[in-house]
Amino acid sequence: MAPTILIVGATGNTGRAVTETLPNLLKDNQAFRSHRVLALTRSLNSSSAQRLAKIPGVEIIEQNWTEITSDWLRENEVVRAFIASHNAPNQFAEESAFHVAALGAGVEYVVRISTSAPNVRPDCAAYYPRTHWAIETMLGSAEFSALKWTSLQPNVFTSSLMAFTVEYIKEFKRNGELGPLKLMVSKDAPVAPIDPDEVGVFAAHLLALDDPSPHNWVKYVLNGPEDITGEQLVGLVEQHIGTKVKEVTYEDLSLLDAILESQYEVSGQSMTVIKSINYALLTVWEGKCNASTTSKEVLAIAPPRRTPAEVLEGLLEA
């Protein structure tokens, strides 16, 4: 078996681009030509998994990452890893267990996905950014000094931010009716949403470095290349439908509430905790998640390039 770079969440928002990008970076580097890329999926039958399995240099297997142990990592000769965890209330228990296993197995370097930088603090009203703060604090402790790691703090994903917008445009083109346009962003505050694929591309570049030491114990902020306000987003919608939007509500979280209720209402989880996710949008409305806050290292290594207008075009064509 060869030294292995593990991708946890290979078919997810960011993991897909890591899996697609990493093999090409490795084959151009003599030091990594013998390494294999091991991608994990929950189902080998999914279209995403089958597509990734066709990439030369990628081995994809069904494996529940929450069951990974130090022994499993050693058996598979994992030397580096990427992890994009879920954000359910038990995230800390499960992701921290993965990092403890990585430390015990002597894994050299881990790149993980965090969340929007202004929210990663112990007093954030939304629950999951506190989890990311706790994990980053744990990794930054003296006990984890043997494990190199980088935590990526991406802004809100463009695909998530525009989900209702895409459906609004498609619905208008189907029946010509103009209902209310509901946007999670504020009317005036600039925000630079990022394409999750571009987060994955940056992560792949880190994993392919000969020496990741300069990025050890570092947290990088990733935003899209261009700010957009709610009012400007309405303008994009109007370009696609060819008419004025009659009714707009900004800072509207009704769609997010509906998604959370459908996913968690019968889960036995506290809905008060779950719905605290809404508070994560406060920093967006305050204008704290704009393009100017992107880490300079991100711009130097793999700068995000897809604008909100370009992502919207792609989502409409999908």
Q: Give helix 163-175 / helix 308-317 axis angle, nearest 10°.
A: 50
d(CA 315, CA 318): 5
CATH architecture of 4-156+194-224+295-301: 3-Layer(aba) Sandwich (3.40)
Question: Which of the pair, 143 or 30, is modelled with greater confidence?
Answer: 143
Provide the 3-class DSSP secondary structure of residue 242: coil
Between CA 246 and CA 273 the distance in angstroms is 35
Return the biggest CA–CA distance within the chain: 61
Confidence of residue 190 (pLDDT cuts 50, 70, 90): very high
The pair of structure tokens assigned to 6 is 């593990």
**Residue ranges per structural domain of the chain:** 4-156+194-224+295-301, 158-191+226-289+306-317
Q: Which amino acid is at 167?
A: E
Q: Has residue 1 got a pLDDT over 80?
A: no
For the stretch 22-79, pLDDT in tens is 999 998 888 888 899 999 999 899 999 999 999 999 999 999 999 999 999 999 999 9
Closest CA to 151 of 194, 203, 190, 105: 203
Segment 247-255 shows an average pLDDT of 93
Which of the four pLDDT bands, split at 50, 70 and 90, describes residue 151?
very high
Question: Cβ(215)–Cβ(252) under 8 Å?
Answer: no
Alpha-carbon distance of 33 to 39, in angstroms, equals 17
Residue range 208-228, pLDDT digits in tens: 999 999 999 999 999 999 999
Residue 110, pLDDT > 80, answer: yes
Select 158-191+226-289+306-317's CATH number: 3.10.50, 1.10.3470, 3.90.25, 3.30.70: 3.90.25
Burial class of residue 73 in the structure, from the number of CB atoms within 10 Å of its CB (0-12 exposed, 13-18 middle, 19+ buried): buried
- Is pLDDT above 80 for 184? yes
pTM score of the predicted model: 0.96
Sort strands 78-83 and 58-62 into parallel, antiparallel or unpaired.
unpaired
